[in-house]
Structure 1
Amino acid sequence: MLHRPVEPAQYRAIRYTQRLAEAGAVASVGSKGDSFDNAMAEAFNSLYKAELVRNTGPWRGLHDLEIATVEYIDWYNNRRLHGELDHTPPAEHEALHAMTQPITATLETR
């Protein structure tokens, strides 16, 4: 039986898998349809669409949406209250976390 040649994308996927195995690494990409595949990014994307794109438009053009996106990210990180973070913005939550962690110093020698 004749087999068709391996497609370049298939070859890259095989080499990628082999290289990960050689390095003892685990791929950080999920399988299609995996409920854990990019869950955090998908959740943020849904919020972005609901809170900004759909509810604030219509947009005159891409430039207007880009400016609104930058403003949204600033608001999301610095002022939006997140229930999973004890109703604090992410920037505040990270600052509080950093203040409660012990300081460890490392000495580098050459």
Structure 2
Amino acid sequence: SGTGNCYDNAAVETFFKTIKAELLWQRSWRTRRDAEISIFEYINGFYNPRRRHSALGWKSPLAFKAKAA
């Protein structure tokens, strides 16, 4: 895509909105390291494997993979 294309960052912007609403605005952390650990755990422990995604028919990646196998 080219310069000025309004859809360039749509996926990333959606992800940032989701992580803010589901994790960051829900609590505060004492240190930056605590926040980094929480964000890492959210992405790798919930968002990627278990969160339901519209592109998968509102199934989690784990459920989608199990059904396909």
Higher relative contact order (CA closer than 8 Å, sequence separation 6+) = 2
* Deviation, structure 1 residue 29: 5.3
Aligned to 2:59: 88
Q: After TM superposition, where is structure 1 displaced by more than 6 Å over at least 4 residues in a row? A: none
Shift of residue 67, structure 1, vs aligned partner: 0.8
Q: Tell me the TM-score normalized by structure 1.
A: 0.51
2:48 counterpart SS class = helix
- The residue aligned with 2:28 is 58
Identity of aligned residues (%): 37
Matched, 1:44 2:15: yes
2:37 maps to: 67
TM-superposed CA distance for 1:59, in Å, is 1.0
TM-score (structure 2 length as normaliser): 0.75
Gaps of 5+ in 2: none
| Count of matched residue positions in the alignment of Structure 1 and Structure 2 | 67
Structure 2 residue identity aligned to 1:63: R
Residue type of the alignment partner of 1:48: I
1:76 pairs, out of 29, 38, 47, with: 47
Query: Alpha-carbon deviation of 1:91?
Result: 5.2
Gaps of 5+ in 1: 1-27, 101-110
Aligned residue number for residue 104 of structure 1: none
RMSD: 2.3
Change (3 A) 1:88 1:63: same
| 1:65 maps to amino acid | A
